[in-house]
Structure 1
Amino acid sequence: MSAVSCLLSEDQFRCSICLDVFTHPVSTPCGHNFCKNCITQNWNINYSCLCPICKHAFTTRPDLKVNKLFSEMVAQFRQSAQKKANSRGLEQKVFKPGEVPCDVCPGTRLKALKSCLVCLTSYCETHLEPHLTMSGLKRHQLIDPVENLEDRICAKHDKPLDLFCKTDRIFVCMLCSALDHKMHDVVLLKEEYEDKKVKLGKTETTIKEMILKRRLKIQEMKQSAKRSEENAHMELAEGVRVFTSLKESVERGLIELIKTIEEKQRTTKKQAEAFIKELEKEISDLKKRNTEVEQVSRSEDQLHLLRRFPSLKAPPPTKDWTGVKVHPPVYEGSAVRAVVQLEETLSQEMKKLFGEAELKGVQKYAVDVTLDPDSAHPELILSHDQKCVCHSDVKKNLPDNPKRFSHYNFVLGKQSFSSGRFYFEVQVKGKPKWNLGVARESINRKGLITMTPKEGYWSIWLRNGNEYKALDAPSVRLSLKSQLQKVGVFVDYEEGLVSFYDIDATALIYSFTGCSFTEKLFPFFSPCTNDGGNNATHLIITPVKKTG
């Protein structure tokens, strides 16, 4: 078998499709051999069973059989070729499909290491040696192996295309440059190569930046999708909680109605049973007396009758039942009254639940707010952590910078916001008067002001311990069930919304809507004057503790 394989040429052991040594060779009915995988993929891609060599068409896909004899010959040839490559120290360098082969190698062609632009030939490691050692060949230009070297030769002058005409945007040789492109902008191929390489480097950098931006955008979108999913779960849980609470309220109302009706029924039944028991006792007494009367009246003993007559002449004492009645309880309207009461209860419960849900929703946008000393009126005292402020009668000697309030004892937050949503909470407990809200950056800080949205203020205040107002235009008197202890402030910049919340009651106090914000907004605070110590309590920016 080995002798037979040696008589065959190398090309006879190569598949005509992949051009590599056969792998699992099979024979078609027309007698040609192919790699089993190659011919199968060829037929799958072309949707027809056509022999790639003789073009014979098969009406049905043939049942391909492995050519065992030829398969053994291929295996022996592969082993023989591998041994030859190993003996020459060229293991792993045999030419493979997709690689450039050596143009000099006889028989099994090895992988080319370099291509010569002068010789227009590609060389493996062995055949390249003269170009590395012989002085005449050392001047030849070697490049990484490429195919179709003839495309790099000028078809007109048979010279290397080693120049580039920038005017015509074509490759030219030295004679082309001298004869046909004399007045053109012609540069060395290497020079144009370096220039384009730099530009490609910039393009590569740009593409990498674009890829990075898109990866970051993907990450951002994934995070948004994750937040959306988390919010959906939270909203679903909140919805279940609210509806469960309402359902429990309805069930309690039904239980209370059933209990009331059953209680009335038990009372009526108990009363009727007591009357019936009393009547039955009187009936029993009357029957007993009637029996005695009948016995005495039938007696012929004159003395006995006369002796019993005084005790039997009248019925036994009984109750006058003429006006006694068992009045059925009035059930009409009980269900209606219960539903009305339930409606009131549910309304209160819903307000509370919705207030909790709304407050919980805005508390997600809590930010860390601190007071800005550079804006504080000289009579205000700020805590070391810049979270508390109160008024002092002593006016400090401070530089009158453009940010500082000079007329009113106001102070702004250090943080500003020009987009999105933000929320913070302030403790006002124990203060009979204060101002609180947000203000735009361009407000007047030096003279008399009017605290309205037009002038750049969105705020509420307390005066005289119980007079709450939203300083809208016109101002709105606020009716609150209890005195505020802690106030939440929420702003949606894009929606033009400023809302104030009673934290303890989990209820909305007031909202400024339809606002048009065009500049930075700052948290705004005023503890007002201390009034001889009556209003000395601090305004305190407190950490946000989520409701529920």
Structure 2
Amino acid sequence: MAATVKFLKDLQSEITCSICRGYFCEPVTTGCGHSFCQACLSSSWRLSAPDFSCPECRQVSQDGEIPLVNMRLAELTEFGKELSSKILQSTEGQSQCVTHKKLFKLFCDEDQTALCVTCCETPEHGTHTIFPVQEAAHKYRKELEHIRSDLGKHLEEDEQLLAQVKRPAVDWYWLIRGEFHKLHLLLMEEENRCLERIRQEEKASQDRLYQYMQSLQDLMQELQEVGHQANLDLLQDARQLLERSEAVLAQRLKAVTPELTEYPIPGLIEMLNRFRVDLTLDPQSADSCVSVSGDLKSVKAEEDWSEETEDSSCHGVLAVQAFRSGSQYWEVDVTQLPQWILGIYTPYLRRKRTRNMDSCDFAFLLRCVKKEGDYYLRTYPGPLDHRMKGPLPRVGVYLDYSSGTLAFYNVLQSSLIYKFHSIPFTAPVTPIFSPGPPLPGTKPGSMTLCPVDSHLCACCCSSQ
């Protein structure tokens, strides 16, 4: 019996396809001597095209064509299948129930076990569905063959899908690449227009300053000439010259201080939103001049705000979060504030700073100041001291710890305000917020941290 089983296993290995693991169906033999179902080899070669290699040993076929059906192997397969069926039936007839010493002639569908006649009469199987062994085997063979047929259909469909993926009707790679190329060109054109606008406005600013200097020189010349006139003649022109002098000097701040021009960058804020972080204020860090809201999202100046010097007005509050790696971006609503300070604080840098900022040492700030109806933006430290067209509704702050970058943005206009470069951070960086100083005779407003999912547009700003 053992020799028969071994012979049967050896025969099955010779008539079984190594791809589908089933008996050969229209077997073909490659030049290297390995055999497969014709359909299996065809599918394998379609998947690996143009490399027509043997699925067994990977030897490349010289002609790349499916061989003809091996008729001798097909006949051997049919003989093996018939012989295997007869041997299985004979071995089934020799199987006996260990308990009742009777042949297994029945099969319990619920328990999936073979039974003898006596087993099926026990209460354990009294209500179960019982089939003769041959009938049960035939039933399951049909079901398995049906499943195998369905799997074959799915395989054919998947092969067709794979072919479509390899050669799609719509070439999305080139289409999308073309759209990005078009976008790159548009951005380059926008960049060139923006840079040209910067050059023109720098020249216009120089011209305005030159004209103002020329008016000062003319006024000085005229005052010098008047100084040599007779008393009566001087008195006649004195009041008019004083008024002109005051008017010219009143224009000095606007003439000397450049205006902060907005240069919108398409997609800027959308790109920065990828780094949005949710900040909360730390009430423990707030001094007596400010108060933090209960939700830890807003800070307001108290009425007893004190300001010793203009550059040391660091009354404010720190964020709970501190950063020592990565990139972060947050936005702050300053709609209710005419004056404010935003930035970061870090206790240590890699080198000593030459400028002493009193209590604001190692802070990098952007400050908004209102004077005589005009708004000015200044950085500490840094060269920015520019006049604005009007107040900012929302300011974006971007921090990149590794490169030491800190940038401020006009969210509404999608434009850059100022950027600090190469700050030598060595310790955690904490955002800082100051809602003042408040203007005399005005009610202090709130500085509010914007939610990470909030967005600002022109219509939102106009409605505030």
Relative to the length of structure 1, the TM-score reads 0.39
TM-score (norm 2): 0.45
Q: Pick 1 or 2: higher relative contact order, CA cutoff 8 A, min separation 6.
A: 2
Rg larger in structure:
1
